[in-house]
């Protein structure tokens, strides 16, 4: 069994990188979930522990994203209830439904989300501030946000980038930094709900949660600052690449190719 000192020295840096990845692109699990598997946690407990730990970067990223969130209360209340309802259902499903089939489908969702983050950048020469999204597309996106909430509560890996892609579709007038801030805010409270549900279903493994959460807190402060100074185009390309890295990794695991 890995010693407590080695666990701390491994999980704090992993958490820091995961916090940056989460708060800048919605891809914490590119780092944190594999890190928990590497220290010996089984998949379900790794997912639960990851959710508890992500509470840390969730709230630090909100602090760091305060500038982008000003004046966005209406948009927040359009998406937050749907996400929370989905998370509650997903968190309950985690303990009731086998994850084998689900894990084989998830990688394709994540890779598709990576493309969706990139596509608006490829097809738009300029964003018109008052551009309207059709009612049908808006309803489809809201349904997608609810389903993303289920996915976040059930498994979670890559859920942030899926939500980010949906927000980019529905909020074309926003910069990447603003949509990223909305994603950070929504996921922070979604993870709170998921953690509350998990409290009644699984123990908190504090020796894993605390060091990972420490790293995530500081990483969560850094990510939004990176997004603020890096161009939308570059951030979308980075999100797409990281999404495909995570998607391919999960694909290889799901189909037992590694």
Residue of 21, 2, 8, 10 lying closest to 158 (CA atoms): 21
149 burial level (CB within 10 Å; 0-12, 13-18, 19+): buried
If one compares 73 and 136, the residue with the highest pLDDT of the two is 73
**Tokens 């009731």 label which residue?**
96
CB atoms within 10 A of CB 111: 21
* The two three-digit tokens of residue 209, written as one number: 């949660």
Number of domains in the chain: 1
- Dihedral of CA atoms 15, 56, 249, 119 in degrees, nearest 10, equals -120
If one compares 53 and 1, the residue with the highest pLDDT of the two is 53
The 10s digit of each residue's pLDDT in 54-112 is: 999 999 999 999 999 999 998 899 899 999 999 999 888 877 877 676 677 778 878 88
If one compares 127 and 150, the residue with the highest pLDDT of the two is 150
Query: How confident is the model at residue 126, as a pLDDT?
Result: 40
Span 32-43, average pLDDT? 87
The 10s digit of each residue's pLDDT in 100-125 is: 766 777 788 788 888 878 875 554 44
Distance from the Cα of residue 189 to its chain's centroid? 12
Query: How confident is the model at residue 184, as a pLDDT?
Result: 94
User: How big is the chain, counted in residues?
Assistant: 258
Lowest mean pLDDT among 1-10, 110-119, 217-226, 233-242: 110-119
The string of DSSP letters for 142-173 reads HHHHHHHHHHHHHT-TTHHHHHHHHHHHH-TT
- Domain residues for 169? 4-254
The pTM of the full predicted model, rounded to 2 decimals, is 0.85
Q: Are the beta carbons of 176 and 232 closer than 8 angstroms?
A: yes
> E strand or H helix at 119, and its extent?
helix 100-123
Angle between helices 206-229 and 176-199 (to 10 degrees): 170
- Assign 216 a pLDDT band (cuts: 50, 70, 90): very high
Span 19-40, average pLDDT? 88
Q: What distance in Å separates the CA atoms of residue 215 and residue 17, rounded to the nearest whole number?
A: 8
Give the chain's mean pLDDT.
86
Query: How confident is the model at residue 120, as a pLDDT?
Result: 59
If one compares 170 and 132, the residue with the highest pLDDT of the two is 170
């Amino acid at each position: 069994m890995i010693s407590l000192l080695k666990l701390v020295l491994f999980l704090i840096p992993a958490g820091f990188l995961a916090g940056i990845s989460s708060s800048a692109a919605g891809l914490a699990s590119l780092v944190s979930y594999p890190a928990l598997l590497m220290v010996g946690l089984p998949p379900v407990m790794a997912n639960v522990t990851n959710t508890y730990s992500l509470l840390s970067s969730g709230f630090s990223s909100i602090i760091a994203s305060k500038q982008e969130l000003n004046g966005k209360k209406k948009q927040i209340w359009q998406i937050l209830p749907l996400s929370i309802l989905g998370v509650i259902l997903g968190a309950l499903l985690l303990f009731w439904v086998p994850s084998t089939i689900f894990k084989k489908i998830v990688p394709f969702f994540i890779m598709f989300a990576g493309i969706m983050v990139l596509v608006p950048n490829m097809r738009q020469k300029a964003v018109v501030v008052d551009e309207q999204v059709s009612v049908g597309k808006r309803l489809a996106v809201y349904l997608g946000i609810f389903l993303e909430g289920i996915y976040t509560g059930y498994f979670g890996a890559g859920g942030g980038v899926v939500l980010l892609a949906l927000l980019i579709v529905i909020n074309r007038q926003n910069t990447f930094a603003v949509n990223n801030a909305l994603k950070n805010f929504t996921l922070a409270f979604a993870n709170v709900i998921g953690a509350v549900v998990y409290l009644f279903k699984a123990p908190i493994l504090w020796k894993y949660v605390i060091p990972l959460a420490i790293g995530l807190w500081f990483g969560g402060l850094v990510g939004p600052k990176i997004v603020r100074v890096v161009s939308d185009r570059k951030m979308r390309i980075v999100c797409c690449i990281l999404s495909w890295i995570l998607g391919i990794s999960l694909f290889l695991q799901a189909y037992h190719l590694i």
